[in-house]
Structure 1
Amino acid sequence: MAYVTPTEAVARMVETAAFKAQLPFRLLLARGFLAGALLGYATSLSFIPQLQGMPSLIGALLFPVGFVLLVLLGLELVTGNFALLPMGLLARRVRPRDLLRNWLWVYLGNLLGGLFYAVMYTQLVHDPKVTELLASIAQRKVFSYQELGLTGQLMAIGKGLLCNWMVTLGTAMAYFSSTTTGKVITMWLPIMTFFALGYEHSVVNMFVLPAALLESGTLTVSDWWVWNQVPVTIGNIIGAVALTSFPLMTYSSHVPQA
């Protein structure tokens, strides 16, 4: 596993940010769609151990396969871009409007991909155990916050923050190795960690909560967005920028400034 120093890795991340900032919206949307669907795949894969009565940690060990696939394929995941694009902004390689443009189109693409896979999954998998599992997920990810009101929304923000600290570290770790094996191993660890701890990832929720909505008669679109999607997205952004972008840019003294 050929190690890349932090200074070199951060320089590459800034270059990636500059590249992503200039991608046309069609590519951002298409690559975002595929990334959202792949994370849906990985999330549904993580259901299998739970449905078979195994510890949830087994599902967490499986889930990173989706993240690894989308990174190696060069797809667009908005939660990773929540850290990469601000790094480009800090290095003066990305304009604010290009950052917002990237986030908007990738978020939309991720959402469409998650919705697509949610519809396919719920239409093709008819299992009472899956329905029961999705109902329990909706309870944990939406109704438990709703019951607490503002405190619940703050909890969702906090869990989103902690989640995307690990997710963006997973994104960053891909730059710390020059081999595919090294990238896979280093990405796997932080992604497994956030999933095992049950933190909130906005793109994962773009699959799992629509799936729960389609399978249960209790969850509504407004419940999903007010009590999970919006606060979790806010937390994901804060975690990415405050805990990954700014700290990693302390290694950027040799990053070329535009």
Structure 2
Amino acid sequence: MKADNPFDLLLPAAMAKVAEEAGVYKATKHPMKTFYLAITAGVFISIAFVFYITATTGTAAMPFGIAKLIGGVCFSLGLILCVICGADLFTSTVLIVVAKASGRITWGQLAKNWLNVYFGNLVGALLFVLLMWLSGEYMTANGGWGLNVLQTADHKLHHTFVEAVSLGILANLMVCLAVWMSYSGRSLMDKAMIMVLPVAMFVASGFEHSIANMFMIPMGIVIRNFASPEFWTAIG
């Protein structure tokens, strides 16, 4: 269905149909295939957080908003990888509720898919934590990379329960908006570019992405407990 405009994008009604069909496909896919794709998504989001940490290390002298914007744009790589490569990310998979609202899937199918994807994302994130630890990346920039991880993880752990849930909902809202808008695109570039600003917005604003935290917090725990003496000497 083509929109009646020179940009040849899908109209909102057509986007809703795409979301519905995507939800049916995800909810009825073989559970093991879903789990493997969820592991992949956990790795993709972890890669994006590594990009965020690398880009924001050493930016303490920059204006707060600019440094966060740079990090947010870098983090958008994660959602772009998930959407373009077909990985199953929990915070975008919640959109299968559209298929439930249309009566195309059951509550049981929805719940099983969400649980499968959530734990698959966790496995992928933890596997990437292990890989990053073995790489010794935390010593980059004379330990600045690892220090950035520690400070970022520590900040996340100081939210109250209500704050954490609220910030998680806000991040999920922006992820869903980004994915929903990507349904309007017809080319890879359309889909990728439309997702950058919603993701950059929630990262720059300090919203909490539950799957990203599956990488960041364990990475901080590992560095705090197992970093070499050289690391602690380097960061003072």
**TM-score exceeds 0.5:** yes
The Cα of 1:56 is off from its aligned counterpart by: 2.8
1:102 aligns with 2:113: yes
The Cα of 1:75 is off from its aligned counterpart by: 1.0
Where do residues 3-152 of structure 1 align in structure 2 (5 Å cutoff)?
A: 3-53=9-59, 55-82=67-94, 84-124=95-135, 125-127=137-139, 128-142=143-157, 144-145=158-159, 152=160
Is the 1:2–1:182 contact (alpha carbons within 8 Å) kept by the matching residues of 2? no
Among all aligned residue pairs of Structure 1 and Structure 2, give the percentage whose two residues are the same amino acid. 27
In structure 1, the residue matched to 2:213 is 205
The Cα of 1:51 is off from its aligned counterpart by: 1.4
Greater shift, 49-58 or 66-75, is seen at: 49-58
- What secondary structure, in the 3-state scheme, does the structure 1 residue paired with 2:170 have? helix
Where do residues 137-216 of structure 1 align in structure 2 (5 Å cutoff)?
A: 137-142=152-157, 144-145=158-159, 152-216=160-224
Structure 1: which 4+ aligned runs deviate by more than 3 Å? none
The Cα of 1:178 is off from its aligned counterpart by: 1.6
Q: Distance in 1 between matches of 2:216 and 2:8?
A: 36
Q: Distance in 2 between matches of 1:80 and 1:103?
A: 10
The Cα of 1:63 is off from its aligned counterpart by: 1.2
Q: Distance in 2 between matches of 1:181 and 1:40?
A: 22
Q: Distance in 2 between matches of 1:188 and 1:57?
A: 11
Greater fraction of residues in helix: 1
Consecutive unaligned residues of structure 1, counting only runs of 5 or more, are 146-151, 219-258
Larger radius of gyration: 2
- Give the number of aligned pairs: 210
Q: Distance in 1 between matches of 2:130 and 2:86?
A: 25
The Cα of 1:139 is off from its aligned counterpart by: 1.8
What are the Cα deviations for residues 127-180 of structure 1, in whole angstroms up to 9, with x where unaligned?
1222211221222101x22xxxxxx10000110111111011111111112222
RMSD across aligned positions (CA): 1.4
Consecutive unaligned residues of structure 2, counting only runs of 5 or more, are 1-6, 227-236
Q: Distance in 2 between matches of 1:112 and 1:33?
A: 6
The Cα of 1:85 is off from its aligned counterpart by: 1.5
Q: Distance in 2 between matches of 1:183 and 1:11?
A: 17
Letter in 2 for 1:138: A
The Cα of 1:49 is off from its aligned counterpart by: 2.2
Q: Distance in 2 between matches of 1:80 and 1:39?
A: 12
